[in-house]
Each structure stands twice: as structure tokens, then as C-alpha cells.
Chains A and B, each alone.
Chain A
Amino acid sequence: MADRALPRTAALACVLRFNFLGKQKRREERERGAEDGVRPRVNTFSPEGRLFQVEYAIEAIKLGSTAIGLKTKDGVVLAVEKRVTSPLLEPSSVEKIMEIDEHIGCAMSGLIADARTLVEHAFRVETQNHRFSYGEPMTRESSTQAICDLALRFGEGDEESMSRPFGVSLLIAGHDENGPSLYYTDPSGTFWQCNAKAIGSGSEGADSSLQEQYNKELTLQEAETIALSILKQVMEEKVTPNNVDIAKVAPKYHLYTPAEVEAVIARL
């Protein structure tokens, strides 16, 4: 055993040295960054001034299920396509519209797991912190801003940050003392206030239909019908209470029961 120790130690030394060299080489590569054609770091600009990861994330959302939001003077309506891929799947477990606080709800499109993280950690925690500190509901704009603050915290080096951006777009329906509102966020961390918006795979067709059909005098009922009819246009399957979800914030968040969804489908 003793005479085998020497070669073994030598082998170990070689492996260690190899590893050490490898680490150094990788560190140098990282430091060189975007020069000489090496792939740029995740959160740095390309030479043309683009953030590739953010753009790729926006592309990822175009594969996600469609979601539509419409704002009326009485409240905001959200409708999503559940995309139930198998009859064995339990439809009520597919949650693509979530409640953030009593007066805010959001619909998601893209990587649903990312959306869950965003909603849970950023949104729900922030709104409850606000209630704890100030004893009042958070305004819809500052809660939307709180989510977007988290969107750009990605990159290498820091264990705190993620390795890639969130691949999710949100439609945030809210109601506060300034009335109802609809916000749309994307992976770049920007948000826009909209009267109506569609996101996901069917968004282009849905957006142009919304432009034609939307007007500011819609009632909540009319908005429900419009949202569902547009969803029907862009969905491949027939619309049933099991493969769509509708929710409204008017002024409190309410997720429709299958019976209520059935009632809206009947009006189509």
C-alpha cells in the first residue's frame, strides 16, 4: 500500500493542478467578457446596445398561453387560456390568474414557475408589507413598480441574483382610490398602463381585435363577453369552463366559479 501512495498522491496533485488551472482560465475568460467573440455576460450590453437575455425572454412569452385584460369604469376583467394538455390533468390545479391582495389580481403568460416566484416574493410580500407598515392597501402603481424592481435583478457573480431574467409577462388588474386600472409588465422590468391588452401566443391577433372592439363606455358584462370571444378566436380548442379562467377586480378581486364562466360562455 505504501508503494502505491506515491503515484496516487502524484495523480491527485495533477488533478488539483488541472482544476486550479481550469478555474483561472475560466476567470480570465469571464473578465475578457464580450471581446473577441466570446458570448457576453447575461446582464451586460452587446456592442449594438442590446440586452440579449431580456429580448430572448420576451420571445419566450410568445410561446405562452394567451391572457386578455380589459378595463371598464366599473372594474377590470381578466381572462386566460388554461391550456389543459391532457384530459387526465386536473383543470382547477392550473392557476394562471392569482390574487395579490383584496384589490389586485394578475394574469400571467410565459414560464408559469417564474410567474409564481414573482407573484409570491415580489407582489404578495410587498403588498402585505405595505399593509403592515401603513395599515392601508398599496396603490396599484407602486405595487406594479415593486414587481418590476425585481425583474432586472439577474446576472452572475452575486449569489443573491438569478442567473437569467424572469420569462413572464403579467397583466395586473387593480383598483384603488383612483379607480380601476390595468398594467402590463414584461421581462425588461418596464410597465405600461393600458385600457386593454393581450399577451401570450395569440397576442397579435387578440390585440388587433381588442383595438376594434374596445371603447371606454363598456360595462363589465360586455367586457367579459368581448374577452371571452377574443379568447375563443385565438384558442385552438372549444371554450369550456374547464379550459378558461376569468377573474374581475371590481373593486375586490373575484375569481369566477365554473358556473359563472358557463354563464359568460352562454352569452357568446
Chain B
Amino acid sequence: MARFDPYENNGGTCVAVAGADYCVVAADTRLSVGYSILSRDHSKIAQLADKCVLASSGFQGDIKALQKALAAKELIYEHNNNKKMSCPAMAQLLSNTLYYKRFFPYYTFNVLAGLDTQGKGCVFTYDAVGSYERTGYSAQGTGSALMMPVLDNQLKSLVLSYCQLRTFNTKLLLVQDAVTPLSESDAVDLVKDVFASATERDIYTGDRLEIVVINSSGTHRECIELRKD
């Protein structure tokens, strides 16, 4: 007997890396269902505020609904508080919005990224019901299991030792300092490499990679081709 299944996984992967004064967010543009491709040109990245970008993978219907809800709340915030929402404020709002639907969740795997109120890069990574954490880098989606180990290998010890240096070799790791010391172009190259690797083995990741770089001069978008098989 066929039951109505409200969810569907449209695949895809999202990655974000935070730097000292920039943030790199990237996602592939393939939209799939089952073993079929629905679109090779579908963006998973939404700009919520001028220094705040949301990259989501998962069920596209819920992703669109979530983006609409957040954009509306951001506008209301602007009107009530006479200022645009900062990335950390949006992070908290996204967490609350997701948890509100704890018993019928948004099937979305989100990475929120941008610049915080001091201009430093910040990346917030979420699960489907709103548990979140500020980190220096993150990957979410079907290819995340292939990407995270590589990112850990390339960035984690750097992040940790950089933080240890900054916190005078204490064991205390401050979340606000969770940024990579890499330069902007190095971070972009790393992201391109990591996507190329995931595309090889994950059937849902490929076609084209959309890279968004946020820094003090604004938002810059770049697209590169990925394998189409």
C-alpha cells in the first residue's frame, strides 16, 4: 500500500571555509531525484543579508520554504531594529526556526556563512533540527562524508595550532578564533580540489561548482565546471 512520503533527497553538497577576514562558500549545482538528474544548473546558495549566505542541501521543497521564511524574518528585523541582521544573529534565528519544526522537520542540511560583527569569517553548521555550532569550516550533503576528512586533514591541525598560538598554547580553543590562517586564494583552491574529489565518487555531486567569496569589499561569485557523469 503506497503511503505518502513527504520527503525526498535532491542531493548535492555544500562547503564553507572561514578565514581571518573572508569567507568562502561553495555548492554544486546538480539537482537529482533517485538516479535521475532534474537540473544541472540549480543554485543551492541563497544570500540572506549582505554579509550572510546560506548554503543548503537536502529536500529542495523544504530548502525553498526555509529560505523564504528566513528572508521574510530578516526584513522584519531590519524594519524593527533599523539595522541589517548580522551573521551570528541569523545563525540563532535559523536554529530556532529549524527547532520550531522539531516534530516535522525541514529536511535541510545547512551551512550558514559570512562575516561576523568584527569582520572575521564565520561558519555555522547545522543538523536538520537546528543544533548548531560555530566552526572554521564545514561540509554538508551527500558528498560531505567524502569531503570532511580531507578538510580535517588540510585545515584542522592548522586551525588548532593557529588557535593554540593565539591563546598562548593553552588547551582552551575559543570558538571565535576558529578560522583558518589560509589566504583567500588558497582556500578557494582547496574547495575546488575537494569538490573535484567528491564528484568522482558521489553520484549526486557534479555538473558545476558555484563559489561565493564574502569579504569586506562585498560578495564575489565564481563558477567552475565539474564532471557531468
Seen from chain A, the residues whose Cβ lies within 8 Å of a Cβ on chain B are: 132-136, 138-139, 141-142, 145
- How many residues does chain B have at the interface if contact means C-beta atoms less than 8 Å apart? 13
Check B86 against A136 for contact (C-beta < 8 Å). Answer: yes
Seen from chain B, the residues whose Cβ lies within 8 Å of a Cβ on chain A are: 77, 80-83, 85-86, 88-89, 91-93, 96
| B contact residues around A141 at 8 Å (CB) | 81-82
Check B86 against A139 for contact (C-beta < 8 Å). Answer: no
Check A135 against B89 for contact (C-beta < 8 Å). Answer: yes
| B contact residues around A134 at 8 Å (CB) | 77, 85, 89, 92-93
Check A136 against B83 for contact (C-beta < 8 Å). Answer: no
Known: A139-B82, A141-B82. 5 other contacts (CB 8 A): A133-B96, A134-B77, A135-B88, A142-B81, A142-B82
* Nearest Cβ on chain B to A138's Cβ, whole angstroms: 8
Check A139 against B83 for contact (C-beta < 8 Å). Answer: yes
Check B92 against A133 for contact (C-beta < 8 Å). Answer: yes
**Most central of A133, A138, A141 by chain B CB within 10 Å:** A133
| A contact residues around B92 at 8 Å (CB) | 132-136
**Most central of B77, B81, B83, B85 by chain A CB within 10 Å:** B81
Check B82 against A133 for contact (C-beta < 8 Å). Answer: no
| B contact residues around A135 at 8 Å (CB) | 88-89, 91-92
Per the bound structure, the CA–CA distance linking A133 and B88 in Å amounts to 11
| A contact residues around B77 at 8 Å (CB) | 134
| A contact residues around B81 at 8 Å (CB) | 138-139, 141-142
| B contact residues around A142 at 8 Å (CB) | 80-82
| A contact residues around B88 at 8 Å (CB) | 135-136
